[in-house]
Amino acid sequence: MADRLAALLAHFSMSARTFQSGPLCGVNRLDGDLPYGQLHLIRAGQVEVWHGNRKAEQINEPSLLFYPRPTPHYFVTDAEQGAEFVCAHVTFEGGAANPIVSALPAYLCLPLARLEHSLPVLELLFAESSAHYCGRQAMLDRLFEILLIQVLRVLMEEGKAQVGLLAGFAHPQVRRAIVAIHDTPEREWSVEDLAQVAGMSRSVFSNLFRDLLGETPAAYMQRWRIGLVKKWLAQGRPLKLIVEDAGYSSESALSRAFKSICGVSPREWLKESASH
C-alpha cells in the first residue's frame, strides 16, 4: 500500500512545542494572534470551549482538542479545581501553502478513548508531563508530533473529511494517484497516467478525483507544485534552480503558473512574504 503521509510530511513537515502542563482554572484565553495552531489534551476535569460568544464544546471526559490554524478560543473551568491540560503549539511548514492545513477542519474534538492506537503515546506523554526528567521539553514535543500523525490517520481511516486531500487519501485507489503526484512532482503527469496508477478508467478516475478533492487532477497537481515552489523560495533557493524540480519547462512557465494561482509573480510574492 502506498504510504499516504510519507512524501507529504517529507515535503511539508509539522512540529510541536509544548507550552502548558498542569491545571487551568477559571477562564483561559488564546487570542489566535500567533502564527500557529494548538493541540490541547484535557486529561481530567470539565471544560467549556468557547469560540467568541458561542459555546463550541462541553468536555466531560479526557479529550483531544485540535486547532490546525490560528483560531481565537477560550476555556472555562471550575475556578478552584480547574482541569488538567497538556498543550502544544503546532506549526505546519509552508503555512497556508501546506496541503495538510487546508485539508483539516477548523477544529477537532475527540475523546481520548477513541484514540485506541494512541493510548501508549498518551500514557508516556502524560507521564513525562508530570515528571521533571532531563530532556522533558524535547520528549514532550516529539510525542505531540507522533500524536499528530496518529490523529491524521484517524481522520483518514474514519472518513471524517468529505471533500479535500484527506477524503482523497481515504479512497484506496485515488490515494495512489495522489501519492504519485507527491512523490514525483517533476514528472509531467497526464490524467491518463494518473488513472493508470489508480487502476481506473480515465473518465471514472477524473470524475471521482474531482468529487473527492473538489478540483481536477491537473488543478491539484498545479497547487501542489506551487506549494513546493513557495516553500523552496522561502528557503532561499533561486527560482532558476526550482524550475525543474517543480516540473516546469522554463522559468517563464513556472512564473505564469505561479501568478495564475497566487495573483503575483514569484519574486513579488517573496518580497511580500519578507516584508511580513
What CA–CA distance (Å, rounded) separates 76 from 259? 45
Residue 242 confidence (pLDDT): 94
Q: What is the pLDDT of residues 130-149, one digit of tens each?
A: 988 899 999 999 999 999 99
What CA–CA distance (Å, rounded) separates 206 from 78? 53
Has residue 163 got a pLDDT over 80? no
Residue 100 confidence (pLDDT): 82
Beta-carbon contacts of residue 38 (< 8 Å; ≥ 6 apart): 30, 65, 66, 67, 71, 87, 88, 89, 90
CB of 232 closer than 8 Å to CB of 266: no
Has residue 236 got a pLDDT over 60? yes
Q: Decide which of 217 and 167 is more confident.
A: 217
Residue 159 confidence (pLDDT): 61
Has residue 217 got a pLDDT over 80? yes
The mean per-residue pLDDT over the stretch 58-76 comes to: 95
Q: Decide which of 128 and 153 is more confident.
A: 128
Locate 199 and state its grid cell.
Answer: 487502476
Residue 51 confidence (pLDDT): 96
Domains of the chain: 6-157 (2.60.120.770), 171-275 (1.10.10.60)
Q: 10 Å Cβ neighbour count for 184?
A: 12
Residue 118 confidence (pLDDT): 93
pLDDT grade for 62, boundaries at 50, 70 and 90: very high
Burial of 128 (0-12, 13-18, 19+ CB in 10 A): buried
Q: What is the pLDDT of residues 246-266, one digit of tens each?
A: 999 999 999 999 999 999 999
Residue 162 confidence (pLDDT): 59
DSSP structure class, residue 61: S
Please report, rounded to a whole number, the percentage of residues in the chain having pLDDT higher than 70.
Answer: 96
Residue 248 confidence (pLDDT): 93
Beta-carbon contacts of residue 120 (< 8 Å; ≥ 6 apart): none
Q: What is the pLDDT of residues 83-125, one digit of tens each?
A: 999 999 999 887 767 788 878 888 999 999 989 889 999 999 9
pLDDT grade for 229, boundaries at 50, 70 and 90: very high
pTM for this model (two decimals): 0.81
Lowest-confidence pick of 98-107, 181-190, 202-211, 213-222: 98-107
Q: What is the pLDDT of residues 4-57, one digit of tens each?
A: 888 788 888 899 999 999 999 999 999 988 888 999 999 999 999 999 999 999
